[in-house]
Structure 1
Amino acid sequence: MAPKIEKVVDVPLDLGESPHWDAKTQSVYFVDINGHYINRFVPATRKYTRAYIGLNVSFIIPVEGQKDQFVISRGKQIALISWDGESDSVSILKTLYEVDEQYPENVFNDGKCDPSGRLWTGTIGAPPVDLDKIENGRGTLYSFQNGKATAHVTGLGISNGLAFNAALKKFYYIDSRKGTLDEYDIDITKGTISNGKPVFTLNKHGLEGFLDGMTIDADGNLWAAVPPSYKLIKIDPRRPETLLQTIEFPAQEVTAAVFGGPNLDELYVTTGRIPVPGLTFTPDDGATYRVTGLNVKGLPSVNVKL
């Protein structure tokens, strides 16, 4: 039976991204990067709420052990906020980090935590409003823990999707400008990566667009968004250049995905509406979707440990 794709949030986002499933509240948090909103959807009640941040916000991750506290990006800062998940505004508690002083226009993009709760996120050369105007080489992939920022990869184009496989000690990463999905060895205890190499190349499979956000399932396969091609693809990184499945969405710019639901067998997918020559948007573009019937489970999203 084919997977079922359901629109769960009709509100069209300028650039939906970075979905994070919170098991404690049984809700999915995500952002509208260009609209400057953080968002929450509760599947059990189908309630959707959002709060305005006022700056480029590229991820929202709950703080482990703290009620109503989250780490978000604000431009090229990382901040600790308080949000009840209901109101339309937040309290900024403090700025935790700021990077890339040499590049005033830089902003953070996709961010996730490794299994230890260490935050990983990278920068890009400008807010992702017009992708053609983002200068190559200005991005850096960082990790953050215990007040320390560590730079891992420099000279990036568009720092994007991240995923971790603790069992295999692998870290998967996307620089959208490269056209490849790359694999690194990772020492999660030390927070170091090494031996980067591509394991999937977009143009070898006749796929148009670029690689964006991604997630990993319990079998070790990766699910990566490919805007503006309407597609989310499933690949096996242990077998280089292996495309396992392609899912077609009503929305052109599929941006990211995360497994959620009580059994982690529902895939929540964000989409966007970044202007691209030749694209005409419909109400399906920018909506948020749920995919069921995949017969696979995901790994739990990891909250940030401060």
Structure 2
Amino acid sequence: MAPKVEQLNVEPTSLGEGPHWDDETQSLYYVDINKHTINKYVPSTKKHTKADIGKNVSIIIPVKGETDQFVITYGREIALITWDGESEKVASLKILYEVDENTENVFNDGKCDPSGRLWTGTMGVAPTDDQIPEGKGSFYSFKNGKVTKHLTEIGISNGIAIDIATNKFYYVDSYRGTLDQYDFDIKEGTITNEKPIYTLFEKFDREADLKVLDGMTIDSDGNLWVAVFNQSRVIKVNPRKPGIIEDFIQIPGKQVTSAAFGGPNLDELYVTTGRFTVKGVTPSAPEDGGLYRVTGLNVRGLPAERIIL
């Protein structure tokens, strides 16, 4: 049986991103970067709620051992918030970290490793999304009050996936056109020996359709499910077979941004999309900006990690 792709009945996002499935609450958290909102969707009740942050927000990750506590990106800062998952405003917001001397930079995608360490990176901003400057961002990790810079000259810091079984770390800088693999030392919090395992394009071309690798997730077999922005699909890449696409899922929305496994058995793939202007064109179909659930893939994901402060 072919996988089933279902558009969920929630408010469309201008730039949906950062899906995080929380096992403890059986809820999907995600953001709308352009509308500055954090979002919560509970599949069992089909209830969608959101809160306005008032600034660029690209991730929302629950805090381990706490209720209604989350870490978010806040421009080029990392913040701790209190949110009951219902209110239209957060109850509190405290800045934990600030990075990058370039005040125009903002954080983008991010994830936690099993030690509770947060990984996230920055990018430059510009008046239009197809004019984002190259090489302005950096890639960081955060733990125990310490900030570590791992990579520099990043275009758009994007997809992250971690495979503890093989000690591998996967990362996407959308402007590079490659999905890169690193050796990962979780104890030391280091990534080394960069190697591209899939290439979408050899050189970023601003005049092209702006198809780029975006957010991603990993299944229990170590396969990567990577969103391809502006190509209406999520591709499956097996790191043990570099350079090829083993499978793909066609998504009705064009601007596919990220994916996360969720559901009681972690066998449902939730996919975020966007509906914003790129190269003068704004998608307007009902499918654009939708939140999608894919079932029938016959694979399971790995639990998303909460952050440890």
Equivalent of 1:192 in 182, 186, 190:
190
Amino acid at match of 2:77: Q
CA contact (8 A) 1:130 1:274 kept: no
- Unaligned stretches of 5+ residues in structure 2: 203-208
Q: TM-score, normalised by structure 2?
A: 0.95
Offset of residue 283 of structure 1: 1.4
CA distance in 1, matches of 2:282, 2:252: 14
Question: CA-to-partner distance for each residue in 1:122-175, whole Å, 9 max, x for gaps?
Answer: 000117x73222111111000000001100000000000000000100000000
Question: CA-to-partner distance for each residue in 1:12-46, whole Å, 9 max, x for gaps?
Answer: 11100010000010000000011100000000000
Residue 150 of structure 2 is matched in structure 1 by 152
CA distance in 2, matches of 1:10, 1:45: 12
Offset of residue 279 of structure 1: 5.2
Equivalent of 1:284 in 278, 284, 287:
287
CA distance in 1, matches of 2:247, 2:282: 25
Matches within 5 A, 1:123-142: 123-126=122-125, 130-142=128-140
Residue 252 of structure 2 is matched in structure 1 by 250
1:115 aligned to 2:114?
Answer: yes
Question: CA-to-partner distance for each residue in 1:83-125, whole Å, 9 max, x for gaps?
Answer: 0001111023411000002x11000000100111100000001
CA distance in 1, matches of 2:283, 2:95: 39
Residue 270 of structure 2 is matched in structure 1 by 268
CA distance in 2, matches of 1:232, 1:279: 21
Matches within 5 A, 1:7-18: 7-18=7-18
Q: TM-score, normalised by structure 1?
A: 0.96
Amino acid at match of 2:24: K
SS at the partner of 1:203?
coil
Aligned length: 302
Equivalent of 2:160 in 159, 162, 166:
162
Amino acid at match of 1:263: N
CA distance in 2, matches of 1:294, 1:158: 29
Amino acid at match of 1:125: G
Residue 182 of structure 1 is matched in structure 2 by 180
CA distance in 1, matches of 2:200, 2:282: 21
**Structure 1 208/294 Cα, relative in aligned 2: closer, same or farther at 3 Å?**
farther
Residue 201 of structure 1 is matched in structure 2 by 199
SS at the partner of 1:132?
helix
Matches within 5 A, 1:221-260: 221-260=223-262
SS at the partner of 1:213?
strand
Residue 49 of structure 2 is matched in structure 1 by 49
Percent identity, aligned pairs only, is: 60
CA distance in 2, matches of 1:92, 1:106: 24
SS at the partner of 1:136?
coil
Matches within 5 A, 1:4-153: 4-101=4-101, 103-126=102-125, 130-153=128-151
CA contact (8 A) 1:4 1:291 kept: yes
Task: Tell me the C-alpha RMSD between the 2 structures.
Answer: 1.4
Amino acid at match of 1:241: G
Offset of residue 220 of structure 1: 0.2
Residue 205 of structure 2 is matched in structure 1 by none
1:214 aligned to 2:212?
Answer: no
CA distance in 2, matches of 1:177, 1:131: 12
CA distance in 1, matches of 2:68, 2:9: 22
Offset of residue 281 of structure 1: 2.2
CA distance in 2, matches of 1:195, 1:141: 16
Amino acid at match of 2:289: G
CA distance in 2, matches of 1:91, 1:190: 35
Q: Which moved more, 1:274-283 or 1:240-249?
A: 274-283
CA contact (8 A) 2:111 2:118 kept: yes
CA contact (8 A) 2:130 2:210 kept: no
CA distance in 2, matches of 1:299, 1:179: 25
CA contact (8 A) 1:123 1:141 kept: yes
CA contact (8 A) 1:58 1:73 kept: yes
Offset of residue 3 of structure 1: 0.5
Amino acid at match of 1:184: Y
